[in-house]
């Protein structure tokens, strides 16, 4: 059994080298086989030793029976060594032995031998002939052990004999043959040793088969995933029937793919929008100038067309600025410099800047709420947030209306709301207002001149500063953008 274990260990170390290239299927089979091998080895060992001990117990009982027989026949006890040693006839009594005096002991009957404390033979049964039974010195109790005589296995019992004072003076050694039993035990051992590798091998092959079958859905997952490239991301892994780990794996991968597809879709939309927004003014300028130079024209006509082209180019430059800003904020390269900012001051700066535009439409700013509210934010970013929201408010407000700015404090949270009296945003479009290039009014030439990037920038800047932005709107009553600042 020990050799088997060693062998197994060796093969483990060889296998370990190939560990990284081993397939899951083989690994499962290997683990399983190792575990089962240990278990089977243990069961075999226990079985073997149990059988062995039962067999030996049988022989030990036989030895004991013989001892009792000796004592009864001679009317002796173990505490009477002197009379024992003087007792010469107990062995001669053995009639079987008498009849068969030979030089070499026959090993199919029991043997008896009397020794003194040093192991010198005092007396022995005749059937032992010239052979001597093995003696183990220094023992103080009855012991049983295996031995051989003439290359035949025997089971020996060694009983100490005392004098009347309780001192060990010699030993009575009884031996019984166990040739047949040993053959049985050896057979058993052989059966175990040969069947073990066979069982393990069969087990490995079977487990490998079963493992292969049970991980086949994984192969499917791999095959489907491999097929998936960016233009072909709309495929999904077929969900297995059983709601097991593989089902969860497939569902998780599918959910991941959904999110990726969504992101791809949005990215594609963004690229399409950006390219449209950039190409349109380019096409206008290019076309206008091309038509202009085809024929000689009046000076005034040249000036008009060039002015027109300049306007288009300015618009394009503004778009590129906003796109770059958005790209920079979205790539997280800008980290906010958070400090304590006074809301009235920040708002004051922006409203002063926007005053001329507001004046054109006769729009009034009205500030309500706490005078001295301070929040933590990046001053430059907050300025841009306010400017975008306020200029939107002006853009979408009718002439002679009021834009209300409310600063509220609830417990430790400060909220700043900007409300216009414009046409409002339909509820089904509210969720999309922060998306890039999204305009509630779908035609590009609504006269407002925006690109639909302002609110995306607001959202991104607010996220960077941990400000929550929300929007509420009522048709024909106006729209409210609320900024909720982080608590200090």
Partner 1 sequence: MRLLIIEDEPGIAGFLKDGLEEEYFAVDIAYDGKNGLDLAMTNEYDLIIIDWMIPVISGIEVCRQIRKSGSLVPIMFLTAKDTLEDVVFGLEAGANDYIKKPFAFEELLARIRVQLRSKNQGDDSLRAGNLNINPGTHQVFYETSEITLTPKEFALLEYLVRNKDKVCTRSRIIEHVWDVHFDSDTSVIDVYITFLRRKLENAGCGNLIQTIRGVGYIIRES
Nearer to partner 1, 220 or 315 (CB): 315
**Minimum CB–partner distance for residue 449 and partner 1 (Å):** 13
Nearest to 157 by CA among 54, 61, 91: 61
Q: Does 284 bind partner 1 (CB under 8 A)?
A: yes
Q: Which stretch binds partner 1 (CB under 8 A): 111-119, 200-208, 438-446, 462-470?
A: 438-446
Per-residue binding string, partner 1, 444-463, x by CB under 8 A, is: xx------------------
Residue from 61, 167, 287, 466 touching partner 1 (CB under 8 A): that is 287
Nearer to partner 1, 216 or 266 (CB): 266
The DSSP output letter for 237 is: P
Are 124 and 112 within 8 A, CB to CB?
Answer: yes
Q: Which stretch binds partner 1 (CB under 8 A): 74-82, 192-200, 443-451, 478-486?
A: 443-451
Nearer to partner 1, 13 or 445 (CB): 445
Dihedrals phi, psi of 479, to nearest 5 degrees: -120, 140
Residue from 71, 162, 308, 437 touching partner 1 (CB under 8 A): that is 308
Are 302 and 289 within 8 A, CB to CB?
Answer: no
3-state SS assignment for residue 147: strand
3-state SS assignment for residue 452: coil
Residue from 7, 79, 276, 328 touching partner 1 (CB under 8 A): that is 276
Per-residue binding string, partner 1, 310-329, x by CB under 8 A, is: --x-----------------
Measuring CA to CA, how many Å separate 42 from each of 4, 187, 204, 214? Answer: 12, 18, 18, 29
Nearest to 337 by CA among 273, 380, 276: 380
Q: Does 280 bind partner 1 (CB under 8 A)?
A: yes
**Minimum CB–partner distance for residue 288 and partner 1 (Å):** 4
Q: Which stretch binds partner 1 (CB under 8 A): 71-79, 290-298, 400-408, 422-430?
A: 290-298
**Stretch 244-273 residues interacting with partner 1 (CB under 8 A):** 272
> Alpha helix locations (H) across 370-443?
379-395, 427-430
**Minimum CB–partner distance for residue 280 and partner 1 (Å):** 5
Nearer to partner 1, 5 or 283 (CB): 283
Q: Does 230 bind partner 1 (CB under 8 A)?
A: no
The gap from C-alpha 133 to its chain's centroid, in whole angstroms, comes to 65
Residue from 6, 65, 259, 286 touching partner 1 (CB under 8 A): that is 286
- Give the pairing of strands 402-410 and 468-474: unpaired
Q: Does 36 bind partner 1 (CB under 8 A)?
A: no
| Rounded Cα–Cα distance for residues 45 and 4 (Å) | 12
Q: Does 291 bind partner 1 (CB under 8 A)?
A: yes
Q: Does 299 bind partner 1 (CB under 8 A)?
A: no
- Return all residues near 378 (Cβ < 8 A) that are at least 6 apart: 336, 337, 338, 339, 464, 465
Dihedrals phi, psi of 48, to nearest 5 degrees: -60, -50
Are 78 and 64 within 8 A, CB to CB?
Answer: no
**Minimum CB–partner distance for residue 309 and partner 1 (Å):** 9
The gap from C-alpha 409 to its chain's centroid, in whole angstroms, comes to 46
Place of tokens 């090993």: 107
Residue from 177, 281, 424, 450 touching partner 1 (CB under 8 A): that is 281
Residue from 130, 227, 294, 410 touching partner 1 (CB under 8 A): that is 294
Question: What is the number of other CB atoms lying within 10 angstroms of the CB of residue 395?
Answer: 18
> Alpha helix locations (H) across 78-178?
81-86, 89-92, 95-99
Instruction: Work out the end-to-end distance of the chain between its first and last CA atoms, rounded to an integer number of angstroms.
Output: 72
Residue from 290, 300, 371, 411 touching partner 1 (CB under 8 A): that is 290
Q: Which stretch binds partner 1 (CB under 8 A): 13-21, 279-287, 323-331, 420-428?
A: 279-287
Question: What is the number of other CB atoms lying within 10 angstroms of the CB of residue 351?
Answer: 17
Q: Within 13 A of 20's CA, how many CA atoms are on the CB side?
A: 1
Q: Does 298 bind partner 1 (CB under 8 A)?
A: no
Q: Does 306 bind partner 1 (CB under 8 A)?
A: no
- Return all residues near 237 (Cβ < 8 A) that are at least 6 apart: 220, 221, 224, 225, 250, 253, 254
Nearer to partner 1, 166 or 296 (CB): 296
Place of tokens 């093969």: 11
Nearer to partner 1, 166 or 447 (CB): 447
Q: Which stretch binds partner 1 (CB under 8 A): 116-124, 220-228, 243-251, 442-450?
A: 442-450
Nearer to partner 1, 57 or 279 (CB): 279
Q: Which stretch binds partner 1 (CB under 8 A): 153-161, 282-290, 405-413, 457-465?
A: 282-290
**Minimum CB–partner distance for residue 450 and partner 1 (Å):** 15
Burial of 213 (0-12, 13-18, 19+ CB in 10 A): exposed
Residue from 282, 317, 327, 345 touching partner 1 (CB under 8 A): that is 282
Question: What is the number of other CB atoms lying within 10 angstroms of the CB of residue 216?
Answer: 12
Calculate helix-pair angle for 245-292, 216-227, nearest 10 degrees. 0
Nearer to partner 1, 51 or 423 (CB): 423
**Minimum CB–partner distance for residue 384 and partner 1 (Å):** 29
Interface ranges with partner 1 (CB under 8 A): 272, 275-276, 279-288, 290-291, 294-295, 308, 312, 442-445
């Amino acid at each position: 059994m020990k050799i088997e274990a060693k062998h197994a260990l060796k093969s483990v170390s060889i296998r370990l080298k190939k560990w990284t290239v081993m397939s899951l299927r083989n690994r499962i089979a290997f683990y399983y086989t190792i575990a089962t091998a240990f278990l089977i080895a243990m069961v075999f060992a226990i079985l073997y030793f149990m059988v062995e001990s039962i067999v030996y117990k049988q022989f030990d009982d036989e030895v004991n029976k013989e001892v009792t027989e000796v004592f009864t026949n001679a009317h002796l006890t173990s505490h009477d060594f002197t009379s024992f040693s003087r007792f010469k006839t107990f062995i001669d009594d053995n009639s079987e032995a008498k009849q068969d005096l030979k030089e070499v002991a026959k090993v199919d009957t029991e043997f008896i031998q009397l020794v003194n404390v040093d192991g010198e033979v005092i007396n022995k049964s005749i059937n032992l002939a010239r052979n001597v039974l093995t003696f183990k010195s220094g023992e103080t109790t009855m012991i049983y052990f295996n031995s051989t005589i003439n290359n035949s296995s025997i089971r020996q019992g060694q009983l100490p004999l005392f004098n009347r004072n309780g001192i060990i003076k010699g030993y009575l050694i009884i031996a019984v043959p166990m040739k047949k039993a040993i053959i049985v035990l050896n057979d058993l051992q052989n059966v175990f040793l040969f069947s073990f590798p066979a069982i393990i091998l069969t087990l490995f092959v079977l487990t490998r088969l079963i493992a292969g079958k049970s991980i086949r859905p994984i192969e499917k997952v791999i095959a489907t995933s491999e097929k998936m490239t960016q233009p072909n991301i709309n495929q999904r892994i077929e969900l297995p029937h059983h709601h097991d780990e593989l089902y969860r794996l497939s569902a998780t991968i599918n959910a991941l793919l959904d999110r990726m597809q969504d992101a791809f879709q949005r990215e594609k939309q963004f690229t399409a929008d950006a390219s449209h927004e950039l190409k349109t003014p380019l096409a206008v300028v290019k076309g206008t100038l091309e038509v202009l130079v085809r024929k000689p024209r009046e000076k005034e006509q040249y000036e008009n067309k060039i002015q027109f082209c300049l306007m288009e180019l300015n618009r394009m430059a503004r778009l590129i600025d906003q796109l770059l800003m958005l790209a920079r904020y979205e790539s997280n390269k800008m980290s906010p410099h958070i400090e304590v900012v006074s809301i009235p001051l920040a708002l004051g700066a922006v409203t002063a800047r926007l005053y001329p535009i507001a004046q054109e439409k006769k729009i009034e700013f009205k500030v309500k709420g706490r005078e001295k509210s301070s929040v933590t934010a990046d001053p430059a970013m907050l300025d841009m947030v306010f400017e975008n929201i306020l200029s939107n408010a002006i853009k979408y407000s009718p002439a002679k209306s009021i834009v209300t700015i409310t600063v509220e404090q609830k417990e430790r949270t400060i909220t700043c709301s900007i409300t216009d009296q414009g046409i409002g945003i339909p509820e089904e479009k509210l969720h999309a207002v922060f998306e890039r290039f999204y305009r509630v009014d779908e035609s590009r030439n609504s006269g407002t001149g925006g690109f639909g990037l302002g609110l995306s920038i607001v959202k991104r800047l607010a996220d960077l500063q941990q400000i929550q932005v929300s929007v509420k709107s009522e048709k024909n009553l106006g729209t409210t953008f609320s900024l909720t600042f982080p608590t200090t």
